[in-house]
Amino acid sequence: MLENFLTQFWPATVDGLSLGAIYALVALGYTMVYGVLRLINFAHSEVFMVGTVAALFTLTTIGVSSPLGGLALIAMLLFIAVVAIVASGVTAIGLEYIAYRPLRKRGGSRLAALISAIGASLFLQQLFALIVIPQLFSLPQEGGRLPVHSPDWVQRADVINIGDFIVRNDKLLVVVAAVVMMVALDQFVERTRLGRGIRATAQSPENAVLMGVNIDRIITATFAIGGAMAGVAAALYLMRFEETNYFVGFLLGIKAFTAAVLGGIGNLRGALLGGLVLGLIEMYGSAIFGSEWQHVVAFVVLVLVLMFRPTGILGESLQQARA
Amino acid sequence: MRYRAIVRLGVALAATSLVLAACGGGGEETGGGTATGGTSQAAGTVKLGLMGDLTGENSGIVIPLRNAAKMAIEDYNATNPATKIELVEYDSQGVPEQATSLAQQAIKTDKIVGLIGPAFSGESRQADPILEEGTIPSVTASATNPGLAENGWKYWHRIVGNDNSQGSGVADYMTRALGVKKVFVIHDNQEYSKGVADVVIETLKGSGITPQTDVIDPQGSDYASTVNKVKAAAPDAIFYGGYYAQAGRLLKQLRDGGVKAQFLSGDGSLDAGLAKGAGGNNADGAIVSCPCLIDPTGKAGPASKKLSEAYKAKYNAPTAIYVGEGYDAATAFIEAIKNGNTDTESINKYLATIDVPGVTKQIKFAENGEPTTSDVYVYLFKGDSYSLIGNTKDAEKPAA
């Protein structure tokens, strides 16, 4: 077991970071919404799924004659990322308007919002399985639950090749893209007016209103940003796996939420850290114990961290982001 | 106040009607519902069930056999017999829990006299005890786990070879025809997958090869750690026990990861979905075994050519996995009903002694329900389709 770990250390590290980067991007959506609204947005996994479907539809519509490499790959990635950002962002905003805002306006309890979130998640899954996917990809109605494959558009090549440390272009792109988005978001929250509004609302909604912050707009922006991050994750996921299905958000959503909690829920940097750490833990655990233990390892670690440090690794919340 | 009450009542009514519609609709979809009812189906029509994954991600394994069975039954009904057969489909999506509740429905509400299926071994394990208790004779055309025959069931039959013969057949083919020295075996811990993989491992051990193993999660999509293990082991061949949705994904990630070793799998992967999931031409050269015979050119006998042509004419699709076996399973029941047996007991008694030629083999069952003859065949993938290489006993390595 241990020798497995040693021989596979570098590949496991590379794969873990690449996997964790996608977790981190999706975790941002969970952590931001929780920081501002104290709501766990269970439907965020479907926001991600919608992004993957939109990106895949774009790919099949454009049509790719042969796998792309280098700059062409990055250009295509950016293009489908924009499409996915729009799709996921719109879905997230739509969710807010339909599933959460009415409850908020009527002073609903947080439990009511949580149940609404679960309902919205199920609704979106089945909507896509029964109607959207068959329509978009010209499948018979029963085919909506099958995985949908994108045309082969990624030319995989090893970018770094130092002995055991081999980094493939798509894995590197995933990590780089995630880190770039994270830094951008972090700066946005710290320096812009809207970011300040988000931090204020996270700290205390009542006082933020007194200070002249438009809470509704802040909340919509929060959902939109979380959705946009999920859209980027969706494009990257499509680059890595070249397929999607109506249920893809489920396991990934749970893992991303775990990552958010691991890093400190409500903490943006915690989402990044939690995602990367979770990815690494899963890969190392798989190398040591066997691939079937991948998920078990992830959740056991979560339980341990929460037992000894309940606020997560970084602990602090959105409202206390370092200036 | 009154307005609120009206709205609440309206919502309650809407919710109730949705639930009722769903229940009714669900019943319709699974094809039970509103037929003649009544406990005695002696005169006119009997109901024959067919259970399997008809809409899930591995439905490619089940839809062809459903089509073949349907064709056999429609041809029989067209001869205007005394007792017609109505085929009732149960979509379990290959999920054992769904299969058990559908089995209950089939026995109690629809009152089927026999069942073709369940299609997968996992769901068979859970649903067959219910069928046995309900004394419903079943003939599965595709559930290949050997353990199913060892339960002492009296009403269970199988028209396809089991994984003991499939696993040992393909392992022998690997050592004899492909000359492999180092093998890596992967499965996804499902009933069928683990079963066939374990037999392959045992047979290889008997030939002096100890394979390395790993297990993937059938619901996950990232097999990176498995790919890393395979790369570290550098085998001559990789055998995957499982279904094509996962096999395709695994093969894609293996090839993308630079693994060029020969890829083999069992009958769960014998579907174009393997090539689609693997993408590009990653599936070219993959060899898949099956206790089933898919033989559109009649290499093994004229009956399969005739069936392939009829299937193609009716469904506008080439013959596929388990078409022959699905046809034979339906034939077994048709013969029973033709000979005047219209209730579960007499059908089961007839099946115990049936001895007629089928498309894939002689339709004859041993005491434990297994077929009396079974051969294992290997198929080579090229592009989106596969072709018969031959019988694992004597086929050679396919030309590069």
**Which tens digits make up the pLDDT trace of B92-130?**
998 999 999 999 999 999 999 999 989 999 999 999 999
pLDDT at A316: 63
- State yes or no: pLDDT of B36 exceeds 60: no
Q: What is the DSSP letter of B290?
A: E
CB A155, CB A67: distance < 8 Å: yes
> A204-234: b or e for each residue (b if 16 or more CB lie within 10 Å)?
ebeebeeeebebeebbbbbbbbbbbbbbbbb
Task: Report how far residue A99's alpha carbon sits from residue A113's, in angstroms, rounded to the nearest whole number.
Answer: 8
- Residue to test with chain A: of B7, B186, B222, most A Cβ within 10 A: B222
User: Which of A8, A149, A292 has the CB atom closest to B228's CB atom?
Assistant: A8
**Mean per-residue pLDDT over chain A, rounded:** 89
Strand, coil or helix: B211: coil
- State yes or no: pLDDT of B18 exceeds 80: no
pLDDT at B289: 94
Residue A10 lies in a domain: no
- State yes or no: pLDDT of B20 exceeds 90: no
By CB atoms closer than 10 A (0-12, 13-18, 19+), residue B274 is buried
| Residue B159, CA distances (Å) to A293, B66, B382 in order | 36, 14, 28
Of A166-175, A237-246, B31-40, B312-321, the range with the lowest mean pLDDT is B31-40
Query: Which of A286, A278, A271 shows the shortest CA–CA distance to A304?
Result: A278
| Residue A221: HSE in the Cβ half-sphere, 13 Å Cα cutoff | 20
pLDDT at A320: 56
Name the residue with tokens 């958000």. A249
Q: How confident is the model at residue A317 (pLDDT cuts 50, 70, 90)?
A: low
H/E stretch holding B245 reads: helix B244-256
Q: Which residues of A touch B228 (CB under 8 A)?
A: 8, 11-12, 15, 287
Q: Does A294 touch chain B (CB under 8 A)?
A: yes
Q: How confident is the model at residue A203 (pLDDT cuts 50, 70, 90)?
A: confident
Query: What whole-number percentage of chain B has pLDDT above 90?
Result: 64
Q: How confident is the model at residue A31 (pLDDT cuts 50, 70, 90)?
A: very high
Mean pLDDT along residues A224-235: 95
pLDDT at B111: 92
Q: Do A149 and B276 touch (CB under 8 A)?
A: yes
pLDDT at B15: 77
CB A307, CB A256: distance < 8 Å: no
Q: Do B222 and A251 touch (CB under 8 A)?
A: no
pLDDT at B265: 95
Task: Report how far residue B216's alpha carbon sits from residue A270's, in angstroms, rounded to the nearest whole number.
Answer: 29
pLDDT digits (tens, 9 = 90+) for A78-113: 999 999 999 999 999 999 999 999 998 898 888 999
**Strands B356-357 vs B362-363: parallel, antiparallel or unpaired:** antiparallel
**Mean per-residue pLDDT over chain B, rounded:** 88
- State yes or no: pLDDT of B400 exceeds 70: no
pLDDT at B391: 87
Of A13-27, A100-114, B15-29, B368-382, the range with the lowest mean pLDDT is B15-29
pLDDT at B28: 39
- Residue to test with chain A: of B98, B225, B282, most A Cβ within 10 A: B225
- State yes or no: pLDDT of A253 exceeds 70: yes
> What are B67's two structure tokens?
């089509």
Q: Do A142 and B189 touch (CB under 8 A)?
A: no
pLDDT at B299: 74
Q: How confident is the model at residue A314 (pLDDT cuts 50, 70, 90)?
A: confident
pLDDT at B21: 61
Q: Which residue on chain A is closest to B223 by alpha carbon?
A: A291
Q: How confident is the model at residue B34 (pLDDT cuts 50, 70, 90)?
A: very low
- Entry field: residues in chain B: 400
- State yes or no: pLDDT of B35 exceeds 50: no
Residue A298 lies in a domain: no
Domain containing residue A195? 25-249
pLDDT digits (tens, 9 = 90+) for B264-310: 999 999 998 999 999 888 999 999 999 988 888 877 778 888 899 99
- State yes or no: pLDDT of B29 exceeds 70: no
Query: To the nearest whole angstrom, how far is the Cα of B249 from the nearest Cα of chain A?
Result: 8
User: Could you please report the per-residue DSSP string of A190-205?
Assistant: HHSHHHHHHHHHHH-H
pLDDT at A71: 87
What global pTM score does this model have? 0.81
Mean pLDDT along residues A269-295: 91
Q: Do A142 and B55 touch (CB under 8 A)?
A: yes
Residue B367: CB atoms within 10 Å: 8
> Which alpha helices (H) appear in chain A, and where do they start and end?
2-7, 9-37, 44-62, 70-95, 101-105, 110-127, 133-136, 169-191, 193-203, 205-210, 215-241, 248-263, 268-289, 294-308
Mean pLDDT along residues A254-264: 92
Domain count, chain A: 1
Q: Return the higher-pLDDT residue of A120 and A313.
A: A120
> What are B147's two structure tokens?
């353990």
pLDDT digits (tens, 9 = 90+) for B181-195: 999 999 999 988 999
Query: To the nearest whole angstrom, how far is the Cα of B369 from the nearest Cα of chain A?
Result: 33
Task: Report how far residue B193's alpha carbon sits from residue B241's, in angstroms, rounded to the nearest whole number.
Answer: 4
CATH superfamily, region B44-162+302-363: Response regulator (3.40.50.2300)
Q: ipTM, 2 decimals?
A: 0.81
Task: Report how far residue A49's alpha carbon sits from residue A246's, in angstroms, rounded to the nearest whole number.
Answer: 7
Q: What are the residues whose beta carbons fall under 8 Å from the beta carbon of B49, sequence distance 6 or more?
A: B87, B88, B89, B90, B106, B110, B112, B114, B115, B116, B117, B136
Mean pLDDT along residues A136-163: 83
Q: How confident is the model at residue B1 (pLDDT cuts 50, 70, 90)?
A: low
pLDDT at B175: 93
Mean pLDDT along residues B361-382: 90
Say which CATH topology domain B164-290+377-391 has. Rossmann fold (3.40.50)
Q: What are the residues whose beta carbons fall under 8 Å from the beta carbon of B178, sequence distance 6 or more?
A: B236, B237, B262, B287, B397
Q: Do A291 and B221 touch (CB under 8 A)?
A: no
Q: Which residue on chain B is closest to A143 by alpha carbon?
A: B55
Query: To the nearest whole angstrom, how far is the Cα of B170 from the nearest Cα of chain A?
Result: 25
pLDDT at B187: 95
Q: Do A147 and B56 touch (CB under 8 A)?
A: no
Task: Report how far residue A29's alpha carbon sits from residue A45's, in angstroms, rounded to the nearest whole number.
Answer: 9
Q: What residues in chain B have their Cβ under 8 A from chain A's Cβ atoms?
A: 54-57, 59, 93, 189, 214-217, 219-226, 228-229, 231-232, 245, 249, 252, 256, 258, 276-277, 279-280
Query: To the nearest whole angstrom, how far is the Cα of B151 from the nearest Cα of chain A?
Result: 29
> Which alpha helices (H) appear in B177-209, and where do they start and end?
191-206
Q: Does A147 touch chain B (CB under 8 A)?
A: yes
Query: Which of B127, B400, B393, B143 shows the shortest CA–CA distance to B267?
Result: B143
Residue B21: CB atoms within 10 Å: 10
- State yes or no: pLDDT of A36 exceeds 80: yes
pLDDT digits (tens, 9 = 90+) for B222-263: 899 999 999 989 999 999 999 999 999 999 999 988 899 999
User: Which of B57, B215, B280 has the CB atom closest to A147's CB atom?
Assistant: B57
Strand, coil or helix: B114: strand
Mean pLDDT along residues B148-163: 92
Query: Which of A19, A3, A38, A55 shows the shortest CA–CA distance to A174?
Result: A19
Domains of chain B, by residue range, sit at 44-162+302-363, 164-290+377-391
**Strands A148-149 vs A243-244: parallel, antiparallel or unpaired:** antiparallel
Domain B164-290+377-391 in the same topology as domain B44-162+302-363: yes
- State yes or no: pLDDT of B4 exceeds 90: no
Q: Which residues of B touch A283 (CB under 8 A)?
A: 224-225
Query: Which of B73, B273, A138, B293 shows the shortest CA–CA distance to B89?
Result: B73
pLDDT at B30: 41
